[in-house]
Amino acid sequence: MLAGNPTEGALVVLAAKGGVDPTLTRERYPRVATLPFDAAYKFMATFHRMEDEDGKAVIRCFVKGAPDQLLARAGSAHGPDGTVVPIDRVREPFLAENDRLGALGLRVMATAQRDFDPATFDAGADFLPLIEDLQLLSIVGIVDPPRAEARDAIAKAKEAGIRVRMITGDHAITAGAIASQLGIVGQAITGAEFAAFSDEEADRRIDDIGVIARVAPEDKVRLVDILRRKGNIVAMTGDGVNDAPALKAADIGVAMGITGTEVSKEAAVMILTDDNFATIVKAVEQGRALYDNLMRYIRFQMACLFGFISTFLGASIFNILDGVPFLPLQTLWINFTVDIFQAIGLGYGKPREGLMAESPRPKEQQILPRSLFVWLAFIGLVMGAITLAVIIWAQNSYGETVAHTMGLVTFSMFHLFFSLETSDEERTIFSSELLENPILLKTSALSLLTIFLATAFGPLQRVLDTVELGVDQWAICIAAGAVIIVVAEVRKFFRRRARATEDATVGAPAVPATAS
């Protein structure tokens, strides 16, 4: 079992298949220095004390990294027959094999070596200038298949209006092949091509680009800036030190919790504990569900607030029950039973169907736009007007105690019915989606029970100053409360009709391109 970087592990396994014992090799050829990998030069090197083919002691440098980078620093190579040949003799077949492996979606790496005199080798020197005149040894294609859940997650992200782009240090051909397997659309270009774009050209062409390969850290930051300038909300993933500036510049920086460096984690606002892209899409889905449930709660609470205001204000203006439609304990009973239960049902209920098929909401979208505010105020006015009408009728027919009781029941039924209506702003209350929301149904049952107990349970009758209602009185209260269903359903009908007309004449709105 191998631990550590998967690429390193794959190379160790390849060496073992070729007859190289990793443990014995480390013992026989001790490492004396290391040049760590860096995205700026895209290779790493290790220096080992050993003997060359003639038995002479040397410090041998082994290099692995991007094939184009090692080719540019090479002076010779092992030929097909094992002899050392000038680099020009293998340049074309080397590049052709690099492209062939990359087109298969393989991660391609090259290896090379160079010997140094132990007497003059300085283990504390700057090693980067020494990585020249290399002797190419091999080119390796590593199978790194995309996770099946990554393909599904990218498809779900596309459906949700989220544009996924790949920005990577891999070769452009490899990156393009992998992007095609993952379902990432768009042209594949190199970081050098991207850097050569002017700002105007980059703004014009960015929507057609799906992959940017062989990138430098500044390319990632520039991509974030371009996308944000075009009005997108940008999430950037990364795990290395060089990714930190882009993670910081993005609206949402996402660092890898397993392979990520501490610098990248500090720069990010979110850390993936499983390093799985599908988790990001799952987080988007949960975020949309939380926001949608929050909006349900806000709509419900605002309508109830307007209902209380209009009821008490109307009772004061028209001197209904001396300006007190509900006694203080009755008001608290509504707030701490019906309203709380329904708020819990809306906040924790099943998310509305189809959230991931909707376009991302604009970042400037208001929580309570004017049209919604007016609608909720109108609902509150309807609650208040009909509740007061029931109270007036009950007072004239049965007296004040029954009037208070029927007012309490009617107003509570308004809240109960409106919470069911506002659970889905698009679908009718009579659709099957309501039956598939068990939490809201359970809290609604509790609300209905508290309404009944307030009028039928002796101790509560004495505390709330209510009386038991007859069947006809209950029927009036329920029918009055159900008016809110009629009003809400009429609004939904005209909204659906207007949307259908708009889609038929203008067409569906374009999906904004949001990058990840």
Question: 12 in a domain, yes or no?
Answer: no
**Which residues in the chain land under pLDDT 70?**
1-4, 503, 505-516
Same domain flag for 395 and 509: yes
Asked if 185 and 163 count as a contact pair (C-beta separation under 8 A), the reply is no
Same domain flag for 276 and 299: no
Amino acid at 143: V
Three-point CA angle 506, 503, 297, nearest 5°: 125
Q: Would you state the pLDDT for residue 511?
A: 38
Of the three residues 106, 124, 142, the one that is the final residue of a domain is 142
Same domain flag for 120 and 194: no
Q: Would you state the pLDDT for residue 513?
A: 40
Same domain flag for 103 and 57: yes
| Rg of the chain in Å (alpha carbons) | 35
Q: What is the dihedral of CA 39, 12, 128, 175, to 10 degrees?
A: -30
Q: Would you state the pLDDT for residue 505?
A: 66
Asked if 478 and 470 count as a contact pair (C-beta separation under 8 A), the reply is no
Same domain flag for 297 and 276: no
Q: Would you state the pLDDT for residue 362?
A: 84
Q: What is the dihedral of CA 121, 125, 130, 131, to 10 degrees?
A: 120
Q: Would you state the pLDDT for residue 370?
A: 93
Asked if 473 and 402 count as a contact pair (C-beta separation under 8 A), the reply is yes
Amino acid at 163: R
Domain that holds residue 64: 27-142
Q: Would you state the pLDDT for residue 240?
A: 85
Question: 94 in a domain, yes or no?
Answer: yes
Beta bridge partners of 423: none
Q: Cβ atoms within 10 A of the Cβ of 1, count?
A: 3
Q: Would you state the pLDDT for residue 18?
A: 86
Q: What percent of the chain is helix, strand and coil (3-state, nearest 5)?
A: 55, 15, 30
Q: Residue 424, CB half-sphere, CA atoms under 13 Å: how many?
A: 23
Same domain flag for 156 and 290: no
Asked if 60 and 115 count as a contact pair (C-beta separation under 8 A), the reply is yes
Same domain flag for 367 and 499: yes
Provide the CATH number for the domain around residue 61.
3.40.1110.10
| Cβ neighbours for 331, distance < 8 A, ≥ 6 positions apart | 308
Amino acid at 342: Q
Of the three residues 127, 142, 157, the one that is the final residue of a domain is 142
Q: Would you state the pLDDT for residue 439?
A: 94
